[in-house]
Amino acid sequence: MIDLHTHTLFSDGVLLPAELIRRCEAKGFRGLVITDHVDYSNIDFVIPNVLNACKEIASVAKIKVHGGVELTHLRPEHIKSMVKRARELGAFLVLVHGETITEPVLPGTNRAAIEAGADILVHPGLITESDAKLAKANGVRLEVSGRKGHAYANGHVVKTAKKVGAKLVFGSDSHTPDDLLDRNRAECIARGAGLEEKDIQEIFKEAESLIGL
């Protein structure tokens, strides 16, 4: 299993990076990216500290780990500059918290994230076909979410992405140990979202390529 979307107590998760990595290692994960929530207030603190933890652990762990980030509830007008800032700070992957149907994310967030060239637009909710087309053109992946609530729109995301040829990836969006999903569970969620077996294998191959495996 490879997980591109996880959280620690550097945002709203419950585990230290070391424990999250160890738990994933014990479950047989091959790789993960820690992507804690940031906005204007904590981006300069969170990214360097998570990167440092990943660097220390990666040198001795049996799992490939990277420090990324999830830009969360930003004003759409600020997303481009914050994507740039996250990359300047060394974030391995830049995720943007999309227009999930379970939170009051500002309209226009999906489009701003795609225009900014984020690596992954996570739980993009009822994404429009035009935004999905732009995601394909800009190389922005759309997430099939393993998180309760956010997963309600997975079927729509899959249908829209497949219609226009946009790339999909899977992320657990884990915040607690119980949120971590093994490959079998992740595949079940993907099937429930309408993905066929060849599509499921493709999204996990995409994850492998992103993480460098």
Q: Where are the domains of the chain?
A: 2-211
How much of the chain, in percent, has pLDDT values that exceed 90?
Answer: 97
Report, as an integer, the average pLDDT of 12-25.
Answer: 96
The Cβ-side half-sphere exposure at 177, using a 13 Å CA radius, reads: 9
Provide the pLDDT for residue 212. 87
Residue 173 pLDDT > 90: yes
Residue 62 pLDDT > 90: no
pTM exceeds cut of 0.95: yes
Residue 156 to residue 205: CA distance in whole angstroms: 22
For 175-209, the pLDDT digits (tens) are 999 999 999 999 999 999 999 999 999 999 999 99
Report, as an integer, the average pLDDT of 56-81.
Answer: 96
pLDDT band at 152 (very low <50, low <70, confident <90, very high): very high
H/E element, 141: strand 141-145
Question: Are residues 74 and 103 in contact, defined by beta-carbon separation less than 8 angstroms?
Answer: no
H/E element, 121: strand 120-122
Among left, alpha and beta (phi > 0; psi -120 to 50; other), residue 149 is: left
Contacting residues for 153 by C-beta, under 8 A, at least 6 apart: 100, 101, 123, 124, 125, 126
For 137-150, the pLDDT digits (tens) are 999 999 999 999 99
Provide the pLDDT for residue 154. 98
DSSP 177: G
Which CATH entry fits the domain spanning 2-211: 3.40.50.980, 3.20.20.140, 3.40.800.20, 3.40.50.720?
Answer: 3.20.20.140
Average pLDDT, the chain: 97
What 3-state class would DSSP assign to 84? helix
Residue 170 pLDDT > 90: yes
Residue 107 to residue 162: CA distance in whole angstroms: 23
**What would the two tokens of residue 45 be?**
């603190």
Provide the pLDDT for residue 10. 97
Strand partners, 67: 34
